[in-house]
């Protein structure tokens, strides 16, 4: 029976191995990607450091809320100064909302005063699908051992109204603080909100 199944898989051109969904407390999905400057980065390059992944799309109003208010830049700056690696990931496909070239990504970072460690380009959606990234923004926090410790929304204010940021509970800051202290992340998984990732 097993041989028949594998024969059908081979004939139909399917893969018998399905990547495991990202799970809190389990190793984060591995990846390698090229950044906006043409440099290759692998998740394994950052072993020993806390890594924050941010799915982004500059045309999404929920992303504009965070960047227009300066909040995302402030979180990036504070956490990278505290030792985190911050990777902004663009999974918009060519021709879809949010797609940019490396040069355009750099222009956006400069014009907004963004502070990521790198902007990763994922036009095929490979990393996005591996992490099941659904929205922009969608946030993930990976500890120094490569274990996923948080995934979900940046905060508890699912609105495009920037005034809500002042009273928001920032889940990413909380997760980073807990991971840095070797403590359990209280809200380890939340429902992300924003625009759909444009695969």
- Which residues, in sequence order, are CB contacts of 198 under 8 Å at separation 6+? 57, 91, 92, 93, 96, 97, 98, 99
pLDDT means per 10 residues, the chain with 199 residues, are 39 45 96 98 98 98 98 98 98 98 98 97 98 98 98 98 97 98 97 98
The pLDDT score that the predictor gives to residue 16 is 42
pTM of the predicted protein model? 0.90
- Which residues, in sequence order, are CB contacts of 152 under 8 Å at separation 6+? 138, 139, 171, 187, 189, 190, 191, 192
Q: How far apart, in whole angstroms, are the C-alpha atoms of residue 178 and residue 198? A: 32
The pLDDT score that the predictor gives to residue 8 is 36
For residue range 83-103, list pLDDT tens digits in order.
Answer: 999 999 999 999 999 999 999
Domain architecture of the chain: domains with CATH: 51-196 (3.40.30.10)
The pLDDT score that the predictor gives to residue 104 is 98
- Give how far the C-alpha of residue 70 lies from the chain's centroid of Cα atoms, to the nearest Å: 18
Q: How far apart, in whole angstroms, are the C-alpha atoms of residue 191 and residue 94? A: 27
Q: Please say whether the beta carbons of 164 and 157 come within 8 A.
A: yes
150: which strand partners?
141
The pLDDT score that the predictor gives to residue 20 is 74
The pLDDT score that the predictor gives to residue 19 is 56
């Amino acid at each position: 029976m097993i041989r028949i199944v594998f024969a059908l898989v081979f004939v139909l051109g399917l893969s018998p191995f399905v990547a495991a969904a990202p799970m809190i407390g389990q190793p984060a999905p591995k990846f390698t990607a090229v950044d906006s400057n043409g440099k290759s980065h692998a998740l394994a390059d950052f072993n020993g450091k806390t890594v924050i992944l941010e799915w982004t799309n500059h045309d999404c109003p929920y992303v504009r809320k965070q960047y227009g208010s300066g909040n995302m830049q402030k979180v990036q700056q504070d956490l990278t100064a505290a030792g985190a690696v911050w990777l902004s990931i663009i999974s918009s496909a060519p021709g879809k909302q949010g797609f940019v070239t490396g040069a355009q990504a750099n222009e956006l970072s400069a014009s907004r005063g963004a502070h990521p460690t790198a902007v990763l380009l994922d036009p095929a959606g490979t990393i996005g699908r591996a992490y099941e990234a659904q929205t922009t923004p969608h946030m993930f926090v990976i500890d120094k051992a490569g274990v996923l410790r948080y995934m979900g929304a940046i905060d508890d204010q699912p609105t495009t109204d920037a005034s809500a940021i002042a009273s928001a509970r920032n889940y990413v800051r909380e997760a980073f603080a807990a991971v840095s202290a070797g403590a359990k992340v209280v809200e380890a998984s939340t429902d992300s909100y924003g625009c759909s990732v444009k695969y």
